[in-house]
Structure 1
Amino acid sequence: MRKPIVVGVDGSHHAMNAVDWAAAEAGRRRLPLRIVHITTGWERGDIPAYRGHGSMAPPPETPGLKVLDVAEERARTFALVEIERRLGVGPVPGTLLQESADGALLVLGQRGTGTFTRLLLGSVSRQAAEHARCPVVIVPTDTDRRPRLPEIVVGIDGSEASIDAVAFALEEAAMRAIGVRAIHAWNHPDYPAEMRPAYYNTFTIEEEGARVLSESLAGWTAKYPDVSVIQQVIEGNPAAVLTEASRTAELLVVGARGRGGFPGLRLGSVSNAALHHAEGPLAIVRRSGGNAGSNG
């Protein structure tokens, strides 16, 4: 069974950017595309019910079906792929997660309109990033479209989550025939003044960062020998460094939770900051998400 690329749409032009990205990705991966629109209208009585075969179903003029029509037409201009449409009813985050449970990727726009993306980055996309069973990709608005370098940037801190991000980034780069820039960012611990060491051995810290990069990439560079990988150890706040890198990269990839995260948290500080501030397409890869490229 081939896992679909799942994209959520709400009728906004912002969501169409997600459709464009998802359709192109489905074409690259040779996977079907599932276009999902979620409505809560039935519950409020906004959409008239059609009773047939003993169940409630939307009539042909349901606005949600029109949203799906437009999205499908847009998708077909980007790739020749098998397209499946789903009209979901219920709470947006939970219903969207159900529709993407068997997906290879869940793709969402950065902003939108109405119920679907009201406080999107504070609600729907965060819950998706925390709970989706597959990697989640957030696509920026069209105002963020700018010339981008042919590279994928991946943040690495040595955690298991960042190693999964490496696997995703290398696979994605191989499909696109572009390179990877692997970044390990570090900054001085924020000790109280009376506890700060008098001297930091920057060379030792950078050596450790280089080791983290090398060990995290080991095996994956051998699996994808045609992918050029640049390794960088950069002094600076990791979230700020990766956000800056997202300005020009085709895709920024981060793990859902890295080193230092509390066990009860599903999103770490870096992935959460990237979710809110990345200036290009962002992929958040969870430890349990598995390999997005698997066709099942």
Structure 2
Amino acid sequence: MARSRPVVVGVDGSPPSVRAALWAGAEAVRTGLPLHLVLVDGTQADHTVDELTRRCRKAVPELVVTGEVTAGHPARELVRRSTDAQLLVVGSHGHGAFREVLLGSTSTSLAAHARCPVVVVRGEPRTTGPVVVGVDDSPGSRAALRHAFDHASHRRAELIAVQALPDAHFAANAYPTPDPREVRTRADLHLAEQLAGWCADYPDVAVHRDVANQHPVTALCRAAESAQLLVVGHRGRGGFTGLLLGSVAHGVLHHAPCPVAVVRTTS
């Protein structure tokens, strides 16, 4: 029998990493997968991993969990383990060497280069509320939709699909000046077309469309105010271009009010 690909969580003993481990443990049980804790270059590493393993088992008794302490660069080690993982999870802040993974350009690199979906657990995770997904008709967006619909279905949650309209449609000097209502109607129709196949595959998921004439970070964070998960693709175009390469990446990964899943396209 093939060995299940685990949910891997990077930990360092900080409160955010504890929340990430507990979130990852619940997700592992939900998907029927084992949980694997990874600590890179930490102080009192063995004790930290043992304590987190105990806390995860106490919180979710049916969880199969293992732990590992290793040396190296945190992001590099986690990316390496993502090859054999179903999901890679980290907290939104940390301390010591692990802090590099969770703040600044290295967190963007981790999300960009991991070979599986990456979840950055922000704040106090919720077990209720909708799943929000960014849509832009790109391969990355389609991979994000698959992940978002699956999560919403298993959690029995509603799904909010957000599409940011191109700024050019509403530019004051556009000629001829487009009718905002017509632009929005066409965008909503296009969004519905992108969702149609997924809605057929997941008839149990209630879907709400949100066409926003806002910056993608603003639109996504607003829609995710009461969400349990925000899902975005690895790369996109249109409203989500450069999601993991510039200010939008930092905006979503560092300012979203809930855990953020970054899903890598396989095409």
Structure 1 residue aligned with 2:10, among 8, 11, 33? 8
Q: Percent identity?
A: 39
Question: What residue is the counterpart of 1:176 in the other structure?
Answer: 155
**Partner Cα separation in structure 2 for residue 75 and residue 273 of structure 1:** 30
Greater Rg over alpha carbons, structure: 1
Q: TM-score, structure 1 length as denominator?
A: 0.81
Question: Which letter does structure 1 place at the counterpart of 2:220?
Answer: L
Q: Is structure 2 residue 39 aligned with structure 1 residue 73? A: no
Cα distance per residue 1:53-91 (max 9 Å; x no partner): xxxxxxxxx711111011101211232221121212111
**Partner Cα separation in structure 2 for residue 69 and residue 119 of structure 1:** 22
Report the CA distance shift for 1:88/1:123 in structure 2 as closer, same or farther (over 3 A).
farther
Report the CA distance shift for 1:140/1:185 in structure 2 as closer, same or farther (over 3 A).
same
Question: What residue is the counterpart of 2:221 in the other structure?
Answer: 243
Between the two proteins, the alignment pairs up a number of residues equal to: 264
- Conserved? CA contact 1:163–1:217, under 8 Å: no
Give the deviation of 1:21 after TM superposition: 0.6
**Partner Cα separation in structure 1 for residue 171 and residue 130 of structure 2:** 39
SS in 2 for 1:77: helix
The structure that is helix-richer by fraction is: 2
SS in 1 for 2:130: strand
Report the CA distance shift for 1:269/1:109 in structure 2 as closer, same or farther (over 3 A).
same
Greater Cα offset, 233-242 or 7-16: 233-242
Q: Is structure 2 residue 139 aligned with structure 1 residue 137? A: no
What 5-or-longer segments of structure 1 have no aligned partner?
42-61, 291-296
Q: CA RMSD in A?
A: 2.6
Report the CA distance shift for 1:203/1:192 in structure 2 as closer, same or farther (over 3 A).
closer
Question: What residue is the counterpart of 1:99 in the other structure?
Answer: 81
**Partner Cα separation in structure 2 for residue 148 and residue 248 of structure 1:** 10
What 5-or-longer segments of structure 2 have no aligned partner?
none
Cα distance per residue 1:93-127 (max 9 Å; x no partner): 11111122211110000001111114622144212
**Partner Cα separation in structure 1 for residue 203 and residue 115 of structure 2:** 29
Report the CA distance shift for 1:90/1:286 in structure 2 as closer, same or farther (over 3 A).
same
- Conserved? CA contact 2:216–2:240, under 8 Å: no
Q: TM-score, structure 2 length as denominator?
A: 0.89
**Partner Cα separation in structure 1 for residue 109 and residue 177 of structure 2:** 42
Greater Cα offset, 102-111 or 263-272: 263-272
